[in-house]
Amino acid sequence: MKLESLISEIHKKKSFLCIGLDVDLNKIPAHLLDTDDPIFQFNKAIINATHHLAVAYKPNIAFYEAYGLKGWKSLEKTIGYLNEHHPEIFTIADAKRGDIGNTSAMYANAFLKEMNFDSITVAPYMGKDSVEPFLAVEGKHTILLGLTSNEGAFDFQTKKIGDSELYKEVLLTSRGWKHSDRLMYVVGATKAEYLADIRKIIPESFLLIPGVGAQGGSLSEVCKYGMTENIGLLVNSSRGILYASKGKDFADAAAEAATVLQLEMKKLMQKK
């Protein structure tokens, strides 16, 4: 998907919400467990109830790999459903891959071509030749981990190197890679106070921001420091939306939780 299409969808829906499809069979309503493919049935109901509120969906691949071949089939059906019924919606394979070049090319093939996701999350720490095979795929986007939402982000990412910090070097250096216009970056909502500095290095890039809701990040803080003229943000919530209710009303409850976020987003966009 072209960036312009994503931006126009954001303005049309007055939303920059990304819904994380992190399906845990221990958390979904019991009545779905009797169906032939509970993960897909759950996703389909969530997508049907929320697609007018969200501009992106992000299945985290771990939640599918966890169930072996069955999980992969559910993932394939989910991305197939999104591409067929909602081609206007941006899709993210949250796979956090990255390896030596020829292996990265295989990962890129799996997620961006075979499964036809619009984008994939990639870890930057093996460097340029591990990321460029993802960037080489035309019409797709690579979302590089910048500053993550978890506590462990302070173990390495914020460590000083010279006058800079490691995560800043990742942002700066990656801007020089081939097809860097296809890059987006992950910044955790729990690290909103870093966004002013981050915007000095990557003023225009789209940021995937997980960590509102269950992890406690603040949407208004994220927008204060991270929003650009083109909005430039995809704010993700997974558990806060998917498991708003464990009963038969789970899809309606998910839509309600998504609506709360979308209305706040609309207000914050109007302030811009």
Ligand X SMILES: O=C(O)c1cc(=O)[nH]c(=O)n1[C@@H]1O[C@H](COP(=O)(O)O)[C@@H](O)[C@H]1O
Q: How far is the CB of 72 from ligand X (least distance, A)?
A: 17
Count of residues in contact with ligand X, rule CB under 6 A: 20
> Does residue 60 belong to the site contacting ligand X (CB under 6 A)?
yes
C-beta of 14 vs 239, nearer to ligand X: 239
Q: Which of 50, 121, 142, 174 binds ligand X (CB under 6 A)?
A: 121
> Does residue 91 belong to the site contacting ligand X (CB under 6 A)?
no
| Tokens read off for 155 | 């173990």
User: What are the phi and psi torsion angles at 188 (to 5°)?
Assistant: -70, 140
> Does residue 38 belong to the site contacting ligand X (CB under 6 A)?
no
Q: Which of 71, 213, 226, 232 binds ligand X (CB under 6 A)?
A: 213
Among 3-11, 73-81, 97-105, 232-240, the segment contacting ligand X (CB under 6 A): 232-240
> Does residue 146 belong to the site contacting ligand X (CB under 6 A)?
no
65 CB contacts (<8 Å, ≥6 apart)?
Answer: 71, 72
Per-residue 3-state assignment (H helix, E strand, C coil) for the chain = CCHHHHHHHHHHHCCCEEEECCCCCCCCCHHHHHCCCHHHHHHHHHHHHHCCCCCEEECECHHHHCCHHHHHHHHHHHHHHHHHHCCCCEEEEEEEECCCHHHHHHHHHHHHHHCCCCEEEECCCCCHHHHHHHHCCCCCEEEEEEECCCCCHHHHCCCEECCEEHHHHHHHHHCCCCCHHHEEEEECHHHHHHHHHHHHHCCCCCEEEECEHHHCECHHHHHHHHCECCECEEEEECHHHHCCCCCCCHHHHHHHHHHHHHHHHHHHHHHC
> Does residue 9 belong to the site contacting ligand X (CB under 6 A)?
no
Q: Which of 50, 74, 157, 236 binds ligand X (CB under 6 A)?
A: 236
> Does residue 133 belong to the site contacting ligand X (CB under 6 A)?
no
C-beta of 4 vs 194, nearer to ligand X: 194
> Does residue 94 belong to the site contacting ligand X (CB under 6 A)?
yes
Q: Which of 29, 71, 133, 188 binds ligand X (CB under 6 A)?
A: 188
Name the catalytic one among 44, 73, 96, 128: 96
C-beta of 10 vs 147, nearer to ligand X: 147
64 CB contacts (<8 Å, ≥6 apart)?
Answer: 23, 39, 71, 72, 74, 75
C-beta of 20 vs 38, nearer to ligand X: 20
> Does residue 71 belong to the site contacting ligand X (CB under 6 A)?
no
User: What are the phi and psi torsion angles at 36 (to 5°)?
Assistant: -70, -30
> Does residue 98 belong to the site contacting ligand X (CB under 6 A)?
no
Q: How far is the CB of 210 from ligand X (least distance, A)?
A: 3
Q: Which of 41, 43, 149, 205 binds ligand X (CB under 6 A)?
A: 149
Active site annotation includes 96 = yes
Question: Among all residues, which ones are annotated catalytic?
Answer: 96
Residues that bind ligand X (CB under 6 A): 20, 22, 60, 94, 121, 148-150, 186, 188, 210-211, 213-215, 236-240
